Chains A and B, each alone.
Chain A
Amino acid sequence: METSQQKEQFSNAYLQAVTSVAGYSLYKPAVDDDSVDWGIAARGIIGRIRSPRLELQLKSTSRDVMKDNAISYPLKLKNYDDLRMVDFVIPRILIVVLLPDNPDEWVQQSEQELCMRYCGYWLSLRGMPETQNTSAVTVTIPRNNQFTVAALESIMQGIGQGIQP
Chain B
Amino acid sequence: MKVTVEDAQIIKNIEPQELRDYLQSHGWYEDGQFLDNATIWHKQVAEEGEFEILLPNTKNVRDYILRIREAIETLAASENLSQLEILSNFINNYPNLKLQGFVTQIATPHEYKLSGEITIVCPVFDKLRKIKTELKDHNYILAIKAYQERLPIVCMGDLSKENDIFVLKSPRSFQIDNI
Contact = CB atoms under 8 A, between A and B. Distances in A.
Contacts of B7: 31
Contacts of B54: 53, 89-90
B61 interface: yes
B22 interface: no
Contact of A87 (B62, B66, B67): B62
A89 B60 contact: no
B42 interface: yes
Interface string A26-38: 0001110100100
A51 B52 contact: yes
A123 B66 CA distance: 22
A150 B34 CA distance: 23
A162 interface: yes
Interface in B57-112: 60-67, 69-70, 73
Interface string B127-170: 00000000000000000000000000000000000000000000
A30 B64 CA distance: 12
B27 interface: no
B73 A87 contact: no
B8 interface: yes
B52 A50 contact: yes
Given A50-B31, A85-B62, A89-B63, A31 B69 contact: yes
B66 A31 contact: yes
Contact of B61 (A50, A88, A162, A164): A88
Contact of B34 (A30, A49, A85): A49
A58 interface: no
A120 interface: no
B35 A31 contact: no
Most chain A C-beta atoms within 10 Å of own C-beta, residue among B31, B63, B69: B63
A36 B66 CA distance: 10
B35 A159 contact: yes
Nearest to B50: A50
Nearest to B60: A87
Contacts of B34: 49, 89
A19 B30 CA distance: 28
B37 A89 contact: yes
A164 B62 contact: no
Interface of B: 7-8, 31-32, 34-38, 40, 42, 52, 54, 56, 60-67, 69-70, 73
